[in-house]
Structure 1
Amino acid sequence: MVTVAVSARSLFDFEEENRAFRENDPGPYRALQEEKLDLPARPGAAFPLVRKLLAFNDSGAAEVDVAILSRNDPVTGLRVFASIRHHGLPIKRAVFTSGAPPHRYLGALGADLFLSANMFDVRAAMAAGFPAAQVYPASAGLNLRNDAELCVAFDGDSVLFSDEAERIFRLMQLEQFIDHEVRNARDPLPPGPMKPFLDALCLLRNGRKSGAAVRTALVTARSAPAHERAIRTLMAWGVTVDEAMFLGGLPKAPFLAEFEPDIFFDDHLQNCELASRHVTTGHVPYGINNELEVAR
């Protein structure tokens, strides 16, 4: 079974309410949510992904579990569950922590992925060893044409793979980086933070009992001949992707707009910001690029 934990704000559009939130005084936020207890929330950025994930259970097989893992208080949780019922989502599990760090419960839930709009919670989850990403609220409202299959796209270095090669790229010229990757083409790259989620998707695809389908893509700035190490790494792991795009520095957003993933994971903030205009996007705050961002 694949288990995904999502925050309430990533599943539903709580952006208006979030603007009323103050860390030192959550009272106005809670009061606003309580005023809206009978008003179902609109779908948020992760809603289409969650809906497709839950469709794997339509045949009666328990293949996917989705749980709410939220900093909201239990009263706001009433609105979350009312919104879940309104939109017909078969979600039964939820943890509401009233502001306490929610990542502590990921192990108990058996989560294969945690999606949140809160960067601090995402970083804490990743530090605890769980695949996690910050969902861009700007992705909400995007309509995808393909309801027949679940599509997920991953960046390569610092997402599926570790940032080993990215660090080398930072230290070398492009030509030297390519030479390094060619010389090490048969040495698998270490796994990155999203590798366990790709594993879970491959198991879901290969062992599914429902009629739903899974399609995955690697979307990377690598180009030939540095492509070989990426492909051989996946082969060494015993996992596959359906599509691989070696873009050699071309913008990823137009290719993602054609692939239409239900979510795209990348470690570069700029890539995420551009992609979120077209597809639901999750920022993976891992690796040297994010270390540089934190240092600024």
Structure 2
Amino acid sequence: MPVSLDGKLVVALSSRALFDFEEENQVFEGHDDRAYMSVQLERLDRIARPGVAFPLVRKLLAFNTAEASRVEVVILSRNDPVSGLRVFRSARAHQLSIERGVFTRGRPPFRYLKALGAVLFLSANEADVRDALDAGFPSARVYPESARNAEQYPDEVRIAFDGDAVLFSDEAERVYQANGLGAFTTHETDNVASPLPPGPFKPLLQALHRLQQASEGPAPMRLRTALVTARSAPAHERAVRTLMQWGLEVDEAMFLGGLDKGAFLREFEPDFFFDDQTGHCESASQFVPTGHVASGISNPVKLRD
């Protein structure tokens, strides 16, 4: 009988999201993939330092027990197979139970997300993230330079989400950008009983909810989620009602009315925060691991070479 990942929370991420390969990446950008391969081969026995997504991955894998394997982490990378040797060696040295990887040597890797059944893809490559989002997978471009402070809650995974264009669609954001705050507030008040359409990260919140339910009772890890949004009263109500209609919950909700999110995220201390606006991401990355979700009206499609 073939092995299956059905029923698991599957996270796919690039090697640069998991490990600190910024120095090696400079070689790639300044030369070519052959030079990059050579450097990685020379450093094959040098254990890579943790990258921005490392704490999140370590904590998610801790949900697995001898009785139940609930989380699968897969390396999905533009790296070549030779460079993949160092990735797997480093993962083993850090005691991360990562067994699977796909290395495409420069080709877009997003097409393998469907076969994996992934509910999250993290990469430092913006084009790959946009491709994955277009294909319907929750995806974010990581900020490799993000601050990392996940040791405060070693037995709890903490994930924070923006609302519009992340958990929800950008329907309301389009009204705001076209007609201003007054029109936005009126629109949300008039439509308070109508759930917002889902955004790209609803599937991840659903998967986390299932993981939380499956892990109830004595468990090595807990899960805590937060909604961190620029909405304020009375526009907050539609967001809360939408989550209720979906049958999903968050543990904390912050309706900040335009206040800087970074200071609040510093207090929540998530293992990862997801937002669609680069300004919020840049602020948040000073305090917590951050991923930019290139979706919605704030992220127009860019012409590619």
With the length of structure 2 as denominator, give the TM-score of the two structures: 0.93
Q: Residue 148 of structure 1: which of 132, 152, 155 is its match?
A: 155
Superposed counterparts of 1:1-296, under 5 Å: 1-22=8-29, 25-139=32-146, 141-208=148-215, 210-291=219-300
- 2:3 paired residue number: none
State the Cα deviation string for residues 116-162 of structure 1 (Å, max 9, x = none).
11111101111111110011101264444111111100000010000
With the length of structure 1 as denominator, give the TM-score of the two structures: 0.96
Check conservation: 2:148, 2:287, Cα contact below 8 A. no
**Which of 110-119 and 59-68 deviates more?**
59-68
Check conservation: 1:74, 1:98, Cα contact below 8 A. yes
Q: How far has the Cα of 1:294 moved from its partner?
A: 7.3
Q: How far has the Cα of 1:112 moved from its partner?
A: 0.7
Check conservation: 1:40, 1:86, Cα contact below 8 A. yes
Q: 1:92/1:292 Cα in 2 relative to 1: closer, same or farther (>3 Å)?
A: closer
Q: How far has the Cα of 1:26 moved from its partner?
A: 1.4
> How far, CA to CA, are the matches of 2:65 and 2:53 in structure 1?
19
Report the identity percentage: 60
> How far, CA to CA, are the matches of 1:227 and 1:237 in structure 2?
16
Q: Secondary structure at the match of 2:44?
A: coil
Check conservation: 2:41, 2:83, Cα contact below 8 A. yes
**Which of 141-150 and 46-55 deviates more?**
141-150
Q: How far has the Cα of 1:163 moved from its partner?
A: 0.3
- One-letter code of the match for 2:182? E
> How far, CA to CA, are the matches of 1:146 and 1:18 in structure 2?
31
Check conservation: 1:17, 1:29, Cα contact below 8 A. yes
Check conservation: 1:155, 1:265, Cα contact below 8 A. yes
**Which of 144-153 and 8-17 deviates more?**
144-153
- One-letter code of the match for 1:287? G
> How far, CA to CA, are the matches of 2:291 and 2:32 in structure 1?
28
- One-letter code of the match for 2:73? V
Q: How far has the Cα of 1:237 moved from its partner?
A: 0.7
Structure 1 runs of 4+ aligned residues shifted over 3 Å read: 140-144, 292-295
Check conservation: 1:261, 1:280, Cα contact below 8 A. yes
- One-letter code of the match for 1:235? M
Q: Secondary structure at the match of 2:164?
A: coil
Q: How far has the Cα of 1:266 moved from its partner?
A: 0.1
Q: How far has the Cα of 1:55 moved from its partner?
A: 0.3
**Which of 148-157 and 24-33 deviates more?**
24-33
> How far, CA to CA, are the matches of 2:150 and 2:69 in structure 1?
27
Q: How far has the Cα of 1:59 moved from its partner?
A: 4.7
> How far, CA to CA, are the matches of 1:52 and 1:236 in structure 2?
29
> How far, CA to CA, are the matches of 2:286 and 2:21 in structure 1?
19
Check conservation: 2:150, 2:271, Cα contact below 8 A. no
- One-letter code of the match for 1:10? A
Unaligned runs of 5+ in 2: 1-7
Check conservation: 2:158, 2:271, Cα contact below 8 A. yes
Q: 1:274/1:140 Cα in 2 relative to 1: closer, same or farther (>3 Å)?
A: closer
**Which of 192-201 and 57-66 deviates more?**
57-66
